[in-house]
Structure 1
Amino acid sequence: MTTPAPGPTTDPVADLTTLLDQLTGDPDEPTPQQDQAAEPEPAFRNVDQFVGGYLVHVLERRVASGPTPGITWCPRWWAHPEALSRLYALWRAWETLRITDPGTGMSIWWRDHLDPHLTALTSDAGPFSRCGPDKHRDPKPLPAEPAPADVLAQLPDA
């Protein structure tokens, strides 16, 4: 329970209303506990809405097509595990920075998050390298062999 602010005002009705609101919890005004516990709603419900409703509209890049130079983008971005993971991370960083740093958060997001991820996604060796604006090629995972047990046993979390 909270206590009224120190010092009476000159309006006893306002003092009583303030006290009653604090005791009963005015539904229009969040309590400090509600303020801290309430998570801000994301601007986008999921990564698909973020990519389709925001990212593809704010990025101004020429998409490579035949001999035309530009970035390589896949219309089925969600079918590439690396792309899905990177774009999910971009969405979560965007949502966090817009709330926690409304002054410079978006600049930080572009510089520290989008630019490096977009470069990796669209590079000649990136996940979209075999795709194009009108085509998708299924991802091809890197070759991997299981690690030997004696190698894993040397790790600190073994």
Structure 2
Amino acid sequence: MTLPQPGAAGDPIADLSALLGQLAADPSGIAPSAAEPTEAEPVYRNVEAFVGDYLAHVVERRLAAGPTSGVNWCPRWWAHPEAISRLYALWRAWETLRVSDPQTGMSIWWRDHLDPHLAALAAEYGPFSRCNPDKHTEPRPLPVEPAPPEVLAQLPDADAL
């Protein structure tokens, strides 16, 4: 998956739309066979609908604003690549668990999916740490230097590089 590069020429909305398209694509490229059962229709048409129509209404947390302590949240969540990836994963897990385990799936989703992802997003050093309900701060990627070829050559999959 290729993430939009900060400061790169181009429309950030288009870059994020492309990222969402990559997340939604079937990475295997294999179409399901006719013998496989068809999946249930999703309740939410995409991650934006899931966040806006469901998550924003069921998650009740005090939001950090000024000197008030609370959860860091960014109203432009879609402008943070990590948030898109985590919220997309939350949406897909929610859609899967509601069908595959109607008895306890939602409890599992809250405990194993939402709680850890929301904690990571809202953490002191998480992607929303420099945002608040009234302010969005552009994400900054981690600094990365190219790995030396001799380091990469030691990896088990070095032949694939």
Task: Give structure 2 stretches of 5+ with no counterpart.
Answer: 1-32
Normalised by the length of structure 2, the TM-score is 0.75
Pair member with larger Rg: 1
Q: Indicate the residue corresponding to 1:126 in structure 2.
A: 126
- CA distance in 1: counterparts of 2:83 and 2:38, whole angstroms: 31
CA shift digits 1:94-133 (9 cap, x unpaired): 1110010000000000000000000000011000000010
Q: Indicate the residue corresponding to 2:47 in structure 1.
A: 47
1:66 aligns with 2:52: no
- CA distance in 1: counterparts of 2:157 and 2:129, whole angstroms: 36
1:146 aligns with 2:146: yes
CA shift digits 1:42-94 (9 cap, x unpaired): 11111000000100100000001111111010000000011110000100111
- CA distance in 1: counterparts of 2:151 and 2:36, whole angstroms: 46
Runs of 4+ in 1 over 2 A off after TM superposition: 33-37
2:146 is aligned with what amino acid? P
Q: CA deviation at 1:37?
A: 2.7
Which aligned pairs between 1:76-87 and structure 2 lie closer than 5 A? 76-87=76-87
Q: CA deviation at 1:135?
A: 0.6
Q: Indicate the residue corresponding to 2:94 in structure 1.
A: 94
Q: Secondary structure at the match of 1:37?
A: coil
- CA distance in 1: counterparts of 2:35 and 2:70, whole angstroms: 46
Q: 1:40 to 1:143 in 2, by over 3 A?
A: same
- My pick for the range that moved more, 97-106 or 146-155, is 146-155
Task: Give structure 1 stretches of 5+ with no counterpart.
Answer: 1-32
What's the RMSD between the two structures over aligned residues? 1.5
Percent of residue pairs bearing the same amino acid type: 72
Task: Give the aligned length.
Answer: 126
Normalised by the length of structure 1, the TM-score is 0.76
